[in-house]
Amino acid sequence: MKAKTKTANKILLLGFPGNGLIGTFTVSYLISHLQMRLIGDINHPDMTPTLFVENGEILSPIRIYQKDNLYAIISDVPIFPEVAHEFVSSIAEFCQKNHIKKVIVPSGVDTQSTDSKDTKTYGLATHPSFEKLMYDNDLPKFIAGSIIGTDATVITVFRNYRIPLLMLYTSCHSFFPDPQASIFAITSLAKVLKIQVDTKDIQKRVDYLRIQHRSLMQETLDAIQQQEKQLPSKVPPIYR
C-alpha cells in the first residue's frame, strides 16, 4: 500500500468476537498480512483484566494498529453489553481525533447451510459512498432482519457521530469458529480495500487463529446469550 496524505482516504477496520469469530479472524489476518504497526491499546475498568503473550511480547486484548492511511482496532475478548456503548463511543472519538472518515466492520451472520458454496458477504451501509462501493464490488445488500448486541451498538453510535460505516456480514456457523467463512470474509474485504491476498496463506493463518482462540468462541457465545436475555422477545437467529 502506498502512503496517502488526504485524510478523506483514512479508513478504520474494526474487528471483535461475534458469530463464527469472523470479525476477529478477518481483521487479525489483515493486520498480519499488511504488517501493520501496533500504535496503542484500549482499556476499560469494567472489563476483566486480561493480557496475552505472543512471541514473548505482552499484548493488551484490545489493540490499535496502523499502516499508512489504514487503521485497525481488534479485540481478542468479547464486548459485553454493559461496556459496549462506551467502548464503541471511544472508538468514534478516536476516529474524530485522527480524521478517520470511514469505518468498515466485518462480522458474521448465522446460516443453516453446511455447504461452503452458499457462503456470501452482505453489505449494510450508512452512507451513499459505501453504497457505491458495494455496487462496484458486487456485494449484495443486507435487505431485512434484526441486528442485536454489539453490532447494533456499533451501527447506532457511528450513525450518531455521523461517521460513514460499512458492515460486512458473511454467512457462517455461529456456534463455533468458521475458518471457511472467514476466508470468504477476508477475500471480500480485501477486494473492497483493493488488497492482494493469497487464499493458501489465509487458510494457514486462520487455522492458526482457530487453535489459538479455542476458548474465545465459548466466551463469545456467553456474551451473545447475555445480549439475547435483554431482548423482549426472541429474534430470528439468522439476523443476530
In sequence order, the β-bridge partners of residue 103 are 12, 165
Q: Which three cell numbers stand for residue 237?
A: 437467529
pLDDT higher than 60, residue 225: no
**Global pTM?**
0.82
- Stronger pLDDT, 227 or 87, i.e. the higher one: 87
Distance from C-alpha of 62 to C-alpha of 25, rounded to nearest angstrom: 14
Cβ count near 145 (within 10 Å) = 14
For all residues of the chain together, what is the average pLDDT? 81
Residues 4/68, Cβ–Cβ less than 8 Å: yes
Work out the pLDDT band at 5, boundaries 50, 70, 90: very low
- Stronger pLDDT, 216 or 23, i.e. the higher one: 23
Buried b (16+ CB within 10 A) or exposed e, 21-40: bbbbbbbbbbbebbebeeee
Q: What is the pLDDT of residues 162-194, one digit of tens each?
A: 999 999 999 988 777 788 888 999 999 999 999
In sequence order, the β-bridge partners of residue 72 are 13, 65
**Amino acid type, 134:** M
In sequence order, the β-bridge partners of residue 59 are 52
Buried b (16+ CB within 10 A) or exposed e, 66-94: bbebbbbbbbbbbbbeebbeebbebbbeb
Q: Which CATH number fits domain 7-239: 3.40.50.10900, 3.90.1490.10, 3.10.20.310, 3.30.70.100?
A: 3.40.50.10900
